[in-house]
């Protein structure tokens, strides 16, 4: 039982306090009905009243205090010293989709117009995913985190590390493929980090797992963020998931999958025939509906998560994605609070003994004639 910030191990002992009102009533009754000790009564006749006579009730008060303190001691009060235990670190591989479809903006037409009217460029799927993952990385303290990016293939961008600042700089340095290539070189026109012509989910899972299987951490997870279905690459994502699911418990890897975006409120930057983004008079991008809906495969992501003991999230906009990542943190990174109970029975028992000694001392000295 918790009371006044203390934990009481045997709260039933408080039943002993029922005797206290009876003792108080007994003392008050003595005073009310004139059963006052002789020296005190003599003072009422006009004689000077001494200290002893005025404090005739003190031995009784000490007895009541002794019983009260003793009862509290028998209830075994203990202080609560809370100790936060973060546990061992978790090894985490982030697998981030950098395909060209991540350029899409997911919001209603009204919200898009409002954002542009305010002179702001609306964040696309990639911007939202990157910023949310940056915040996620910076919120960790003992977890090693690595980064894999994937388009038509998968690349390891950063190995498992505790250097969160450098990992975040790597995330911020990623340039998404605009979706248009130089006809002569085949390279993207905007100096993208990697080509965005594909979504090799299987390769991404394979690379991420390859890093995690070499670690000795007891907790290992993959966080997969994508907006499309598996296209390109050489590895079957379900085959990777089934292999991971077959591992013994001490080698387990849990995969948490995030499907970002929604086909119902999708906008893409408009481009001219040269593949250059069109802008308005303020230099802001002009947006248009995509000619065809982006292919997605939520069932695949759901299966991957289910097979490996992870969880599937369908994050249709920025707010939902951020909330889902928070849910991931609550699910995987449970903070444990250990409460140390320090018993204070002995100090209270000694206090009760001291009060009892004082009462006896009074009853066998000058107060003896009053009781």
Task: Supply the DSSP symbol for 371.
Answer: -
> β-pairing, 336-343 with 77-85?
antiparallel
Highest mean pLDDT among 113-117, 261-265, 365-369: 113-117
> Are residue 287 and residue 347 in the same domain, yes or no?
no
Give the domain extent around 39.
2-83+339-370
More confident residue, 172 or 349: 172
Is the pTM higher than 0.85?
A: no
pLDDT of residue 247: 93
138 in the same domain as 30: no
pLDDT band at 265; cut points 50, 70, 90? confident
Alpha-carbon gap, residue 72 to 156, rounded angstroms: 63
Q: Residue 309's closest CA among 229, 237, 220?
A: 220
Mean pLDDT of the chain: 83
Least confident of 133-137, 296-300, 357-361, 364-368: 364-368
Q: Which sign does the torsion angle of CA 98, 101, 107, 113 carry?
A: positive
Does one domain contain both 202 and 253? yes
Q: How does pLDDT run across 225-264, given as a tens digit for each residue? A: 998 889 989 999 999 999 999 999 889 999 999 999 887 7
**Is the confidence at residue 85, as pLDDT, over 50?**
no
- Is there a contact between 251 and 219 (Cβ–Cβ < 8 Å)? no
**77 and 124, same domain (yes or no):** no
Verify that 283 and 182 share a domain, yes or no. yes
Q: Structurally, how many domains does the chain consist of? A: 2
Could you tell me which residues are beta bridge partners of residue 336? Answer: 85
Q: How far are the Cα atoms of 2, 6, 66, 217 from residue 75, in angstroms, in the given order? A: 11, 11, 14, 44
Question: If you average pLDDT over residues 21-44, what whole number do you get?
Answer: 65
Tell me, yes or no, whether 31 and 62 share the same domain. yes
* pLDDT band at 47; cut points 50, 70, 90: very low
Q: CB-based contacts of 239: which residues, under 8 Å, 6+ apart?
A: 202
The answer on 223 and 179 residing in a single domain is yes
For residue range 305-321, what is the model confidence (pLDDT) as tens digits?
Answer: 999 999 999 887 778 88
Q: For residue 119, what is the domain's CATH number?
A: 3.40.50.410
* Same-domain check for residues 211 and 325: yes
Whether the pLDDT of residue 70 is over 80: the answer is: yes
| 65 pLDDT above the threshold of 60 | yes
Is residue 120 very low, low, confident or very high in pLDDT (cuts 50, 70, 90)? very high
Average pLDDT over residues 14-27: 85
pLDDT of residue 51: 59
pLDDT of residue 226: 93
Q: How far is CA 13 from the centre of its chain?
A: 38
pLDDT over 90 for what percent of the chain? Answer: 40
pLDDT of residue 82: 58
Q: Please state, as a whole number, how many other Cβ atoms lie within 10 Å of the Cβ of residue 112.
A: 16
119 and 25 in a common domain: no
Nearest in space to 174 (alpha carbons), one of 155, 153, 202: 155
pLDDT at 210 over 90: yes
pLDDT band, very low/low/confident/very high, at 328 (cuts 50, 70, 90):
confident
Q: Is the pLDDT of residue 87 over 50?
A: no
Same domain, 94 and 15: no
> Quick one: pLDDT at residue 129?
92
Greater confidence (169 vs 349) lies with 169
Same domain, yes or no, for 202 and 323? yes
Over residues 111-134, mean pLDDT:
93
In the chain, pLDDT over 70 holds for what percent of residues?
A: 83
Residue 38 has pLDDT above 70, yes or no: no
Does residue 269 share a domain with residue 194?
yes
């Amino acid at each position: 039982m918790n009371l006044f910030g203390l934990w009481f191990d045997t709260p039933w002992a408080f039943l002993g306090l029922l005797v206290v009102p009876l003792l108080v009533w007994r003392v008050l009754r003595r005073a009310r009905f004139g059963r006052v000790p002789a020296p005190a009564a003599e003072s009422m006749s006009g004689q000077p009243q001494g200290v002893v006579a005025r404090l005739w009730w003190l031995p009784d008060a000490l007895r009541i205090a002794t019983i009260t303190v003793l009862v509290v001691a028998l209830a075994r009060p203990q202080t609560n010293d809370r100790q936060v235990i973060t546990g061992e670190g978790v090894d985490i591989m982030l697998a981030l989709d950098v395909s060209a479809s991540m350029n899409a903006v997911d919001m209603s037409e009204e919200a898009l117009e409002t954002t542009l009217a305010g002179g702001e460029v609306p964040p696309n799927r990639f911007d939202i995913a990157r910023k949310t993952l940056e915040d996620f990385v910076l919120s960790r303290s003992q977890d090693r985190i690595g980064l894999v990016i994937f388009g038509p293939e998968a690349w390891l961008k950063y190995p498992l590390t505790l250097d969160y600042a450098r990992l975040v700089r790597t995330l911020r340095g990623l340039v998404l493929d605009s979706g248009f290539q130089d006809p002569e070189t085949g390279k993207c026109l905007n100096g993208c980090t990697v080509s965005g012509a594909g979504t090799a989910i299987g390769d991404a899972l394979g690379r991420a797992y390859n890093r995690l299987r070499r670690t000795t951490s007891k907790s290992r997870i993959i966080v997969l963020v994508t907006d499309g279905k598996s296209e390109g690459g050489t590895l079957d994502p379900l085959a990777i998931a089934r292999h991971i699911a077959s591992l013994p418990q001490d080698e387990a890897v849990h995969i948490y999958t995030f499907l970002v975006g929604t086909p119902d409120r999708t906008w893409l930057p408009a481009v001219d025939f040269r593949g250059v983004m069109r802008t308005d008079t303020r230099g802001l991008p002009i947006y248009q509906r995509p000619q065809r809906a982006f292919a997605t495969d939520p069932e695949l992501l759901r299966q991957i998560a289910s097979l490996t003991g992870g969880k599937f999230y369908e994050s249709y906009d920025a707010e939902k994605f951020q909330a889902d990542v928070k849910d991931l943190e609550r699910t995987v990174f449970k903070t444990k609070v250990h409460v140390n109970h320090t018993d204070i029975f002995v100090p209270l028992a000694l206090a009760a003994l001291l009060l009892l000694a004082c009462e006896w001392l009074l009853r066998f000295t000058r107060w003896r004639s009053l009781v």
